[in-house]
Structure 1
Amino acid sequence: MLRLKGEHIHLRALEPEDLEFLYQLENNPEVWEISGTTAPYSKHVLKQYLENAHRDIYDVKQLRLCICTAKDVVIGFVDLFDFDPKNRRAGIGIILIAGEQGKGVGTETLRLLCDYAFSVLDLRQLYANVTTDNERSLHLFRKLGFEKVGTKKDWIFFNGNYRDEILFQKINT
């Protein structure tokens, strides 16, 4: 089982017992904007997703890990998506429950996942998409050396409004 350990948190593979947390998070309309979700997921569909979560990143082109406290309480997810081994790149995304934001968890999580992506998967670059009003995420990605490489105008349409999205890249030199 994949497990990446930091000082205060660890990242681990999804387990069947994560169903309830996944159900609550994926069905929270407040996070649909960043996930691209437009309708709720059933527990049945999410259970099937968990049953296939063990599949290799080279096969499914994505990897989702649980962000856990030292006591193994799940407090969020971090994803590698659009995995492209030929061009050695992937997208990266993170979501934490509200009570865990602003405590350094995001910083530690992204450091662990960047290290994994660059050293184990041998990726050349990671990228992230962040809406211009998501100050915490903007700060987080800049802090970890991601560079703003562009702005996608009116990129996200959510709740009747268009929002710009910033594209960040981090190139492993």
Structure 2
Amino acid sequence: MKLLENERIILRALEPEDLDVLYRWENDASLWQHGNTLTPFSRYVLKEYIASAHQDIYTTGQLRLMIQSRQTGEAVGTIDLFDVDPHHRRCGIGVLVDPAYRRKGYAGEALSLVLSYAFSFLKLKQVYAHVPVNNEASVKLFTLAGFKIAGRLVQWISTPDGFADVYLMQYVFAETN
């Protein structure tokens, strides 16, 4: 088995064929509060993003991978490493699974694979995530993956219901050397 795949999923680079699904996910306004998106993305902008996604993770500071089901060949979500800091050997992480594929284990499997990649191949020391306190499914996902709550950021994100707190969740790789 290769580094970014298991029996059920493959984490792969973006392809031009991903344009329609990325367009749908990136323009779902209900998801914008979880990132820093304030406006819709055009197909043109996303097409350019896909075309430049091959650039080095240390040049761009990010890596987006598609989560693909082995069984169907469908893209079921994305997982991102961002704010990659090679000096401090850390980065942020975010995962999105299409609503039709949620609660089927895809996010947990993708998280496990990308953490293995981050620590063994990229030689990172830690990975962090900002997880809304009220997003119980995501808190559980990251906790089960070995993340610990490192702090609580008060009124950190703006939501349709007002400001909400997020947990700063952190996974620190315990090196044996």
What TM bracket, shorter-length normalisation?
over 0.9
How many angstroms apart in 1 are the aligned matches of 2:95 and 2:150? 19
| Equivalence map 1:65-144=2 (5 Å) | 65-70=65-70, 71-144=72-145
How many angstroms apart in 2 are the aligned matches of 1:15 and 1:35? 22
How many angstroms apart in 2 are the aligned matches of 1:95 and 1:65? 11
Percentage identity across paired residues of the two chains: 43
The CA deviation string for residues 98-118 of structure 1, in whole angstroms up to 9 with x for no partner, is 121111111110000000000
Secondary structure of the corresponding residue to residue 115 of structure 2: helix
Q: Which residue of structure 1 aligns with residue 5 of structure 2?
A: 5
8 Å Cα contact 1:89/1:125 also seen in 2: yes
Amino acid at match of 2:154: K
How many angstroms apart in 1 are the aligned matches of 2:60 and 2:19? 20
Amino acid at match of 2:52: N
TM-score (norm 2): 0.94
Amino acid at match of 1:43: R
Moved more, 2-11 or 69-78: 2-11
8 Å Cα contact 1:3/1:13 also seen in 2: no
TM-score (norm 1): 0.96
Q: Which residue of structure 2 aligns with residue 61 of structure 1?
A: 61
Moved more, 157-166 or 15-24: 157-166
Shift of 1:159: 1.7
Secondary structure of the corresponding residue to residue 36 of structure 1: coil
Q: Which residue of structure 1 aligns with residue 35 of structure 2?
A: 35
How many angstroms apart in 2 are the aligned matches of 1:153 and 1:96? 26
Q: Which residue of structure 1 aligns with residue 169 of structure 2?
A: 168
Residue-pair matches, total:
172
Shift of 1:160: 4.8
The CA deviation string for residues 1-40 of structure 1, in whole angstroms up to 9 with x for no partner, is x971112111000011110111000001111111221111
Moved more, 77-86 or 29-38: 29-38
Amino acid at match of 1:49: Y
Structure 1 segments (4+ residues) deviating >2 Å: none
RMSD value, Cα: 1.2
The CA deviation string for residues 63-106 of structure 1, in whole angstroms up to 9 with x for no partner, is 00000001321010000000000000000100001121111111
8 Å Cα contact 2:67/2:76 also seen in 1: yes
Q: Which runs of 5+ in 2 are unaligned?
A: none
